[in-house]
Amino acid sequence: MLIGTESLAMRLTLVESAQCFHWVERNGRFGAVVAGEPVWLWRDEKGIQAEGTCGADAVRRYLDLDRDYAAIAAAYAHIPAARRAIELYPGLRVLNQPPWEALVAFILSANNNVARIRGLVQALCASYGRRLDCGDAALYAFPTPERLAACREEELRALKVGYRAAYLIGTARRICDGFPLDALRDMPYAEAHSLLTTLPGVGDKVADCVLLFGCGHAEAFPVDVWVARLLRDWFGMTCKSRPAMARDARERLGAHAGILQQFLFHAARMGELAFPADRDYSVRD
């Protein structure tokens, strides 16, 4: 099934960019459960192809293929760091994940590296998620909130999630008790962020990751150690807390600040933006 002909760097977007952690790669194909259905993706001479029961519209939305990334690049072209990062990673997309999946993944991300987060997410899915066969391989969905809410803490600790076990169970129980997770997409950013941080294990940065990667808030600007260093070097944000940096970045960079953040984050993590800024930058009108 042909999904589209847009630019998409699959390995970078689905595996390397640290915005999701459950995709698997087999023989040049990338597989996961999307919108509750298994799918394998690859590119051939015709474009982006898919095999599985997930519909083309759901795959396109998940991959953010209908967003105009060229227009975003043009809006930030006057910022050397932004221009450099976007040029370095053509085809990088910011995924539209289900908020529950983003929430679980980024609770597990606390004080962790990418390889370990991926291992924890995949172990959790294989242990408690629904198995779906697709082609000649099995793919695993994320466990439902109800399934995690019924877990004992020692069960999850056996998967090496450590102290995050209590956060996962506590958050799952809040969701089961009616926390409006799916409604966050339609809330103003500040209201959604404030509500998310009432969940166990969800601080400012995790909340911004969930809002950006799972709730469609493109202005959400997660700040980790890599992004904090970049903001100090390029934007002169010295002696500020990370929440203050995130607030300044949203104000300066506008409605697509989070989209740009993903490019900047990956470039910073790869050591591609080591040179300092010579002036303060903000988005152009």
* Cα 64 to Cα 147: distance, rounded to the nearest angstrom: 29
Residues 43, 49 contacting (CB under 8 angstroms): yes
Q: What is the CATH number of domain 99-130+140-214?
A: 1.10.340.30
Q: In the structure encoding, which two tokens stand for residue 275, read together?
A: 């040179």
Alpha-carbon radius of gyration of the chain: 19
Q: Is the pLDDT of residue 146 over 70?
A: yes
Reported as a single tens digit per residue, the pLDDT across 152-181 is 999 999 999 999 999 999 999 999 999 999
C-alpha dihedral, 258 to 264 to 270 to 276, nearest 10°: -150
pTM of the model: 0.92
Query: Tell me, what's the pLDDT at 239?
Result: 66
- Mean pLDDT value across residues 90-107: 97
* Cα 278 to Cα 7: distance, rounded to the nearest angstrom: 32
End-to-end Cα separation, the chain, in angstroms: 40
- Mean pLDDT value across residues 133-159: 94
Reported as a single tens digit per residue, the pLDDT across 251-279 is 999 999 999 999 999 998 888 876 554 44
Higher pLDDT among residues 111 and 25, named by residue: 25
Q: Is the pLDDT of residue 61 over 80?
A: yes
What amino acid occupies position 23? W
For residue 31, the cross-strand partners are: 24, 40
Average confidence score pLDDT of the chain? 92
Sequence ranges of the domains in the chain: 2-63, 69-92+220-269, 99-130+140-214
Q: In the structure encoding, which two tokens stand for residue 159, read together?
A: 């998967």
- Mean pLDDT value across residues 62-73: 96
Q: How far is CA 112 from the centre of its chain?
A: 15
Q: What is the CATH number of domain 2-63?
A: 3.30.310.40
Query: Tell me, what's the pLDDT at 241?
Result: 87
